[in-house]
Amino acid sequence: MAAAKPVEPLPLLRTGADTAAAAALRRFQLPPQPPRSVRANAIRASPPSNGAGSPDELPAALLPNAARRRDGCGFSLGVDLGEARTGVAVGRGITLPHPLTVLKLRGQKLELMLLDIAQQQEADELIVGLPVSADGSETPQSNKVRSVVGRLAVQAADRGLRVYLQDEHRTTIDALEFMISRGVKRSARDVKSDAYSAMMILERYFSSSGQGAKIVLPKQPQLQSKLLEKSRQDAQV
We report the CATH number of the domain holding residue 166 as: 3.30.420.140
Distance CA 22, CA 166 (A): 21
Which pLDDT belongs to residue 94?
84
Mind listing the pLDDT tens digit for each residue in 14-66? 434 444 444 444 444 434 444 443 333 333 344 433 333 455 578 889 999 99
Looking at the domain assignment, is residue 90 inside a domain?
yes
Percent of the chain whose predicted confidence (pLDDT) is above 90: 59
Domain range for 167 is 72-230
Instruction: Between 4 and 127, name the one with better pLDDT.
Output: 127
Look at the chain and report how many structural domains it folds into.
Answer: 1
Mind listing the pLDDT tens digit for each residue in 107-138? 999 999 999 999 999 999 999 999 998 888 89
Looking at the domain assignment, is residue 152 inside a domain?
yes
Contact assessment for residue 227 and residue 62, using Cβ atoms and an 8 Å cutoff: yes
Looking at the domain assignment, is residue 176 inside a domain?
yes
Which pLDDT belongs to residue 137?
87
Looking at the domain assignment, is residue 193 inside a domain?
yes
Looking at the domain assignment, is residue 30 inside a domain?
no
The single-letter DSSP state of residue 31 is: P
pTM of model > 0.85:
no
